[in-house]
C-alpha cells in the first residue's frame, strides 16, 4: 500500500511492465513503465472501465479509433471513458516512460 513510484524501476524489458499500486473492488491504480513499447498494430484497448492516465516521466502517444492522436509528456493527464478504443502508438525510446493509470468502474458515472 506504501511505496515510491520512481523506485524499483524495471530494467529494459521486452514488454511494458505493470505494477498494481492499489486494488479494490472498483478501483485499480497501476504504474506502467514503457520504453519504446507500443500496442500491437491490430489490437485496440476496449476497456470495461474508465481510465484516468498521467505521464510522470517520458512521453507517449495514444491513438483513438476516431483518428484522434494525443502525445502526452511529463505531467500531462487525460481521461479515457470506458469502451473508447485506443492504443499506444509511440513511447520514447531514449528514456523510460512512467504512466500512472487509475481505472475505475464505469458503473459510477
Which of 32, 35, 78, 97 touches its own copies (CB under 8 A)?
A: 78
State the Cα–Cα distance between residues 54 and 75, nearest whole angstrom. 6
Least distance CB 31 / its own copies (angstroms): 9
Q: Establish if 71 lies at the interface with its own copies (CB under 8 A).
A: no
Which of 10, 13, 79, 93 touches its own copies (CB under 8 A)?
A: 79
Q: Establish if 14 lies at the interface with its own copies (CB under 8 A).
A: no
Which residues are bridge partners to 23 per DSSP?
28
Residue 83 exposure: Cα atoms within 13 Å on the Cβ side: 3
Residue 107 exposure: Cα atoms within 13 Å on the Cβ side: 4
Which of 17, 59, 84, 100 touches its own copies (CB under 8 A)?
A: 100
- Angle 54-59-61 (CA atoms, 0-180°, nearest 5)? 90
Interface residues with its own copies (CB under 8 A) are 1-7, 21-22, 24-27, 29, 50, 52, 54, 56, 70, 73-79, 100, 102, 104-105, 108-109
Amino acid at each position: 500500500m506504501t511505496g515510491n513510484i520512481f523506485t524499483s524501476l524495471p530494467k529494459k524489458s521486452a514488454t511494458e511492465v505493470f505494477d498494481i499500486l492499489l486494488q479494490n473492488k472498483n478501483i485499480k491504480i497501476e504504474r506502467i513503465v514503457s520504453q519504446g513499447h507500443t500496442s500491437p498494430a491490430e489490437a485496440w484497448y476496449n476497456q470495461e472501465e474508465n481510465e484516468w492516465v498521467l505521464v510522470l516521466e517520458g512521453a507517449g502517444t495514444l491513438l483513438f479509433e476516431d483518428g484522434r492522436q494525443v502525445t502526452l509528456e511529463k505531467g500531462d493527464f487525460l481521461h479515457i471513458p470506458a469502451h473508447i478504443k485506443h492504443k499506444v502508438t509511440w513511447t520514447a525510446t531514449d528514456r523510460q516512460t512512467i504512466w500512472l493509470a487509475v481505472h475505475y468502474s464505469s458503473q459510477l458515472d
